[in-house]
Amino acid sequence: MRRSLRSTRSCLGGTLLAIAAARLAKERPDCLRSVTLLAAQTDFTEAGELTLFINESQVAFLEDMMWERGVLDTAQMAGAFQILRSNDLIWSRAVRDYLLGEREPLSDLMSWNADATRMPYRMHSEYLRKLFLNNDLAEGRYSVEGQPVALSDLHAPMFVVGTQRDHVAPWRSTHKIHFLAADADITYVLTSGGHNAGIVAPPAEEGHTYQIMTKKADGAYVGPDEWIKLAPQQVGSWWKEWVSFLENHSGEAVAPPIMGGVRQKAASLKDAPGDYVLQR
């Protein structure tokens, strides 16, 4: 373990992390040593295929449904993403499983996809209206507790990953962080695969490729079309690049406390989750 505070989030979690990190940057500038965003959008002007389902009337309809239960049901959320890739997630499975009787073996990624999330009413409504429809975050209108949030306040080194076949967060959309956080060192990675498989790319698996390039805080902005021509092509998993990035932006290594075992050591631990999560 390293003495540092690093923050990593994927997809919508990455959007929320960018908001929190920008707000923290004004109050505690040295709070975060680095920020990692995985397939996460901060500008929604090129949000991809989801724009087919999100407009004012659709958001109002969803809000009416969520008002009754307080959440958006998992089946409704999962169904929207299945429709986006219906050939892969609906029809190919129907043909293979039902017509041909060829059951595909279970995998870790399939289990992950099946673990759907119920979205809380207020959180989902604000996300769809303020971020997706109105693009308030990128355009400087988003506020937290009455205070405006500006992504230009992000100065901590950033590691940002986009995926080539992402149908949820298109890589050109995730690339916009270069423009929004112009005063931060940004290491951007474009990896093969889609929204999930491109992120879950362990080194032991073959077939992965990626491109990577770092823009310094004082460097010129490079648009996505030029970036993809300039960034070197690499074979393998981008995870190794991430490990190197984290090591370069961390403090001295410290060992986590022993959990259990000797009674005296266990007695000295604080209540869950313990001090070690703060990495002091």
Over residues 207-244, the pLDDT tens digits come to 999 999 999 998 999 999 999 999 999 999 999 999 99
Dist. CA 255–CA 32, nearest whole Å: 20
Over residues 192-217, the pLDDT tens digits come to 998 888 998 889 888 999 999 999 99
CA distances from 97 to 77, 94, 116, 152 (A): 23, 5, 22, 49
- Choose, from 11, 21, 138, 160, the residue flagged as catalytic: 11
Q: Which helix (H) or strand (E) holds 143?
A: strand 143-144
Dist. CA 3–CA 279, nearest whole Å: 6
The mean predicted confidence, pLDDT, of the chain is 82
Over residues 28-52, the pLDDT tens digits come to 888 889 999 999 999 999 887 777 7
11 noted as active-site residue: yes
User: Whole-model pTM?
Assistant: 0.79
